[in-house]
Amino acid sequence: MSKRLLVSVAVLPLFALAACGDNAGEGEGGATDPTSEQALNDQIMVDPDLANQNEGNAALTGGGDQTIPPENMTPEAIQAAKDAAFALVGGSEGLKELPAPTQYGAEIPETAGLTAAARAAATPGGTDCAAGVEYSAAWAAKLPAIFPVYPRGTTKEAAGNDQGNCSLRVVSYLTPVPLNDVLTFYYSRATTGGYSAEHATAAGDNIISGRKGNASFVVYGRRLSSGLTQIELVTGGK
C-alpha cells in the first residue's frame, strides 16, 4: 500500500490523486514526472498510520498493504459485490454503457470536464479545502450517498473537510472486482443521478468525472499487478 495519498490543487487537473512509495510503477505511467513533482504543493497527505489511530474505524482501514481479507476475494464474494452494485444502479434500467475514454496522455487541457470537476471538489468558491483536511477512515462513511465505496470494497486511506464551504472527501480503497465493472458503476450512478460524466485516461489512470450544480466527483482507477483494482474517489460540493 502507498505510504501516503497526495491530493494537490495544482495537480488535480493532471494527476489529482497520485500514490507514492510502493505504488509507483503499479500502473502504466504511474510514476510522477519531475513537472508533476514540482507541482505537488498545497497537498493533502493521507497517511495510513494517521488513519489507523482511530481504532473505532479499524474495520474500515483494512491494514496498510495491498491486500484485502481473503473472504472478500472468493468468486462468490466478487459476484455478491457485483450483484449489490447492480442493485444500487437500479438494475438493467440504470446500468449505463461505459463510453470509450478520451485519451489525454500526460497533459489535460483547461477546457476538459475533468479539470473543472477536480477544481470544483478541491477549491469551491476559491476556498482551499486541502488546508483544513482531517485524516480518518471514518470519512469513507461520509461520502455522498450517490458515490459510495463500491460494495465490499476495503478502504485503505481517507480524509475530508467540512469546514466553511468545504465538503471534500478523499477515499482510497481496493476491490477484487474488475476495473471496468467499478468504472461502469460510478458512470451509471452519475448519469442516472443527473451528473455530467466523462470517461478519460491520463497518467496511467482511468478516470470518471463530472458535476451537478455545485457538486462534483472524480474517480481514479487502475488495475494493480496483484490483480486488485485500486480506486481513489474524490467528491466535493453539495
- Residue 8, φ and ψ in degrees, nearest 5: -120, 130
DSSP 152: T
**Strand (E) positions, the chain?**
5-8, 17-19, 43-46, 102-105, 134-135, 154-161, 168-175, 198-202, 205-212, 215-223, 229-236
Q: Please tell me the distance from the alpha carbon of residue 149 to that of residue 141, in angstroms, as a whole number.
A: 8
Cα distances (angstroms) measured from residue 56 to each of 51, 52, 125, 136: 10, 9, 34, 10
Question: pLDDT tens across 97-132, in order?
Answer: 999 999 987 777 777 888 888 888 888 888 888 777
Give dist(CA 42, CA 128) in Å, integer: 8
**Residue range 39-51: average pLDDT?**
38
Q: Give the residue, 136 or 61, on which the prediction is more confident.
A: 136
Give 64's contacts (C-beta < 8 A, 6+ positions apart): 1, 48, 49, 52, 156
* β-pair type (154-161, 134-135): antiparallel
Which whole number is the average pLDDT over 149-164? 92
